[in-house]
Amino acid sequence: MAKQNIFDNETFFEGYQKLREREMNANNLFEIPELFRLLPDLKDLRILDLGCGAGEACMEYIRMGAKEVTGIDISEKMLEVAREKNSDPAITYICMPMEDIGKLEGGFDLVISSLALHYIEDFKGVVNNVNRLLKEGGRFIFSQEHPVVTCHSDTYGKRWTTDENGLKIHVNLANYGKEGERDTTWFVDNVKIYHRMFSTVINDLVECGFAIEKLVEPLPSDELLQKYPDYYDLFHKPDFLLVKARKS
């Protein structure tokens, strides 16, 4: 079965790049800061970045003291940007789907993934391979779209119920307990993500030999809401789930 490579779609790629350039995007305000807060001291660590994209984080890991970073991504377009703008002798970029990381040599101290695992159908298979690639006591830190986000599909209708003024009253939740593929529209039609319940994410990690150290569902502070009041909707529906786990 062919692996989804939506980031090499020109329309999607350009739309995504423009989104990430916006100061107030949710990645910059919530997901990235929380992911970096979960990181241990990176001094002299060997790191594997799953779904490294344009490599900004890989460069930051080197600045934070990492000894070596391997970034993998299925998108050649993303890796072209990474090699052009975020190159370093200590960083190796490999074009590879996450489902194939079993081909890599192990010995990593830390595996990180930012907002990529919800594009993967075989989550447990990837988690098993991550465990094999990590040293004893190594950590797996990742973010994904929150399960209350991934359960939605365009076929279920509107995501929100609003009042007569367009104010969001509550999120419309449907088929949370039906796991599997979802088709969504994001820059282009038919972007495929895979919904897993919260319990499935946690149980798969535990069954693959991980101990959960911390879970984060980012919410806006009062100060942030004063600047960006639209993000109040995160109190109805967190966008992200972040997990810190240790190979036990």
Which whole-number Å values give the CA distances from 210 to 53, 140, 151, 199, in the listed order?
26, 8, 25, 14
Nearest CA-CA partner of 123 in 149, 95, 98: 98
Domains of the chain, earliest start first: 6-146+198-232+241-247 (3.40.50.150)
d(CA 216, CA 222): 18
Where is average pLDDT lowest: 7-21, 75-89, 142-156, 225-239? Answer: 7-21
Residue 198 has pLDDT above 90, yes or no: yes
Q: Strand pairing partners for 110?
A: 47, 139
What average pLDDT does range 178-183 have in this prediction? Answer: 93
Q: What are phi and psi of 227, to 5 degrees?
A: -85, -40
Q: What is the pLDDT of residues 46-91, one digit of tens each?
A: 999 999 999 999 999 999 999 999 999 999 988 999 999 999 999 9
Confidence (pTM): 0.90
3-class secondary-structure state, position 91: strand
Residue 1 has pLDDT above 70, yes or no: no
